[in-house]
Amino acid sequence: MESAARHKIPESVLVVIHTAALEVLLIERADKPGFWQSVTGSKDRIEEPLLETAVREVEEETGIVVGSDAVPLVNLRDWGLSNVYEIYPVWRHRYAPGVTHNTEHVFGLRVPEGIAVRLAPREHLRHAWLSWREAADRCFSPSNAEAILQLPRFIG
């Protein structure tokens, strides 16, 4: 019998990283060149709080440390939005047999302009800072694009 620890948990975060000027950070997937997205990632364990998942994924994927002087924890906000979507078939092997849907919880993270980004090379190829509308247009994921389009609503 396979260990459940080998399978991804079908509950994840999507973190829209942005500046006060509504510039949005997008990262290009290494396993799917041309697929641009915000920071995303699944819980490491069922009981992991979503805020902890968001902090961990931001640091793993971008090198940005939430809770540092440059990016205080208060800058990470749970937008109270969730998306349930069908997992793309190309990525279903990462989940337990029969798992076809994921619940994604949306967060926003305000960072200072010019913050250094250090990508995880096994996960992402490049990054880009784009206006929020351009970022939404570039995302391959409809739920990611929709989250970015909500950004102006959550600023302030």
Instruction: Give the span between the Cα atoms of 13 and 11, in whole angstroms.
Output: 7
Whole-structure pTM value: 0.92
Q: Residues 56-103: pLDDT tens digits?
A: 999 999 999 999 999 999 999 999 999 999 998 988 999 999 999 999
Query: What's the pLDDT tens digit per position in 130-144?
Result: 999 999 999 999 999
Antiparallel, parallel or unpaired: β 76-86 and 23-29: unpaired
**Residue range 91-136, pLDDT digits in tens:** 899 999 999 999 999 999 999 999 999 999 899 999 999 999 999 9
Question: Residue 134 burial (CB < 10 Å; 0-12/13-18/19+)?
Answer: middle
Retrieve residue 44's tokens.
Answer: 């490491």
Q: Which alpha helices (DSSP H) does 7-49 contain, by range?
A: none
Rounded CA separation 151/53 (Å): 20
Report the percent of the chain where pLDDT is more than 70: 96
Q: Please state the domain extents for the chain.
A: 4-154
Per DSSP bridges, beta strands 101-110 and 11-18 are parallel
The token pair that represents 5 in the structure block = 């620890």
CATH number for 4-154 (one of 3.40.50.2300, 3.90.79.10, 3.40.220.10, 3.40.640.10): it is 3.90.79.10
